[in-house]
Amino acid sequence: MLRIAEVHAVEILDSRARPTLAVVLRTPQGLKVRAGVPSGASTGRREAVELRDGDPDRYGGKGVSRAVAAVNGEIADALTGREFDSFREVDDALRELDGTEDKSRLGANALVGVSMAAARAEALLGDRELWEHLAAVAGARPRLPVPHFNVVNGGAHADNPLDFQEFMVAPLGAPSMAEAVRAGAEVYAALRGRLAGLGEPLGLGDEGGFAPTVTLEQPEEVLELLVGAIGDAGYEAGRGGVALALDPAASGFAADGGGYTVAGESLTSDQLIDRYEEMVDRFPVWSIEDGLGEDDREGWTRLTARLGGRVQLVGDDVFVTNPGIIAEAVQAKIGTAALIKVNQVGTVSETLDAVRVCREAGYAQMVSHRSGETEDAFIADLAVGTGCGQIKAGAPARGERAAKYARLLEVADARPGLEYGWVRAR
């Protein structure tokens, strides 16, 4: 049983110097837990809605004092002193209290902070690690995930000419979590050297990846650079060593009236699919996320038919971690995997439902951070507990990103028997 003695939120800053929430939950036993709420920059149109203040004189309208007030007012009044059978029951109470489909009245950022804190408290009350508790609730076999390190940032994550949002390296062939993190850090260091050699300033994007501004405009140029950096670091570029993964985030460069614009070139959906196929032919790309815009459903179907047997096709904006939307996409044969973001749907229990829908449909899952992060490593435990085998948490740099990788290393060290690696979907 989970009894809540106090729930309290405070406005803090995320990794982009924008406001977000930290939620503290206390139990009558004296247990105190904290949850830091992530916030996205590249957001799907149908994802749960953050509550922002809209006051232009305060944080440029991005303040979250209204969401803080919702936690400290209505939510605290509804939950304090109550006893719940599980954190799922807490989530049910939160959704009922909000009363909207998109969680816009009280704010998804308010709800998810309380939900994360409740799940963490329940795990501790049961004398379990968070990942162990989430595995038990989800009925999943825990697994250490392959990290996907976002080492070059573009799109909404950087002020540079690159339209594609994320270029990642994934140590699919690493024998362990420790060796995977080592590979990511060593490739990142080698990439730094290559960029310096090109005369690129070594500035970073929102997720800790380099944000080149001078010499790189085409995505193929970045992929070629990454293959070189992988070799410089002493690794094989490919699925047996360090593979490449893309998140073009195509909704961000979809043109008005249809089509896409990449580095100034206008492309139809089919021309963009052709280009992806050429990239897969030339480079060791194993995963493409949001290759087409969220409204280009016919294009998604063609993309899946064309490349779904060769690479993983991950839906983010098009799925928004929503179990119902994912189920519809499965029927429409859109994608082969789903990105999983706990704040995108607004509660932990709905996140686990999304994972379940994917698992039952034979879709892979990749747990993900957001561009605006805190030091909270909840998603590391979520990735391990769901056994999905994949996580992306940014570059192996900056404290809010490194905290997730550090947590994975701690779990691996404490439980040496846990398997590491990607799990192939049916």
Binding residue positions for Mg(2+) = 247, 289, 316
Q: 151, 190 in Cβ contact below 8 A?
A: no
Cα separation, 322 vs 299, in Å, equals 21
341 as an active site residue: the answer is yes
State which amino acid sits at residue 167. Answer: F
Residues annotated in the binding site for (2R)-2-phosphoglycerate, as ranges?
165, 341, 370-371, 392
Residues annotated in the binding site, as ranges?
157, 165-166, 247, 289, 316, 341, 368-371, 392
Compute φ and ψ for 28, nearest 5 degrees: -60, -20
**Kindly report the CA angle at 245 between 256 and 406, in degrees rounded to 5?**
120
Q: Which of 50, 132, 207, 350 is catalytic?
A: 207
103 as an active site residue: the answer is no
CA separation, residue 233 to residues 106, 210, 395 (Å): 48, 17, 16
**Kindly report the CA angle at 408 between 406 and 412, in degrees rounded to 5?**
115
Residues annotated in the binding site for substrate, as ranges?
157, 166, 289, 316, 368-371, 392
Q: 283, 244 in Cβ contact below 8 A?
A: yes
State which amino acid sits at residue 206. Answer: D
Maximum pairwise Cα distance, the chain: 61
Q: 392, 340 in Cβ contact below 8 A?
A: no
Two tokens at 24? 């503290």
Give the gyration radius of the chain's Cα atoms: 21
- Nearest Cα to 37, choosing from 62, 57, 15, 6? 15
Please list, in sequence order, all residues whose beta carbon lies within 8 angstroms of the beta carbon of residue 8, skipping any fewer than 6 positions away: 23, 24, 71, 72, 76
Q: Which of 341, 350, 400, 404 is catalytic?
A: 341
Catalytic residues: 207, 341
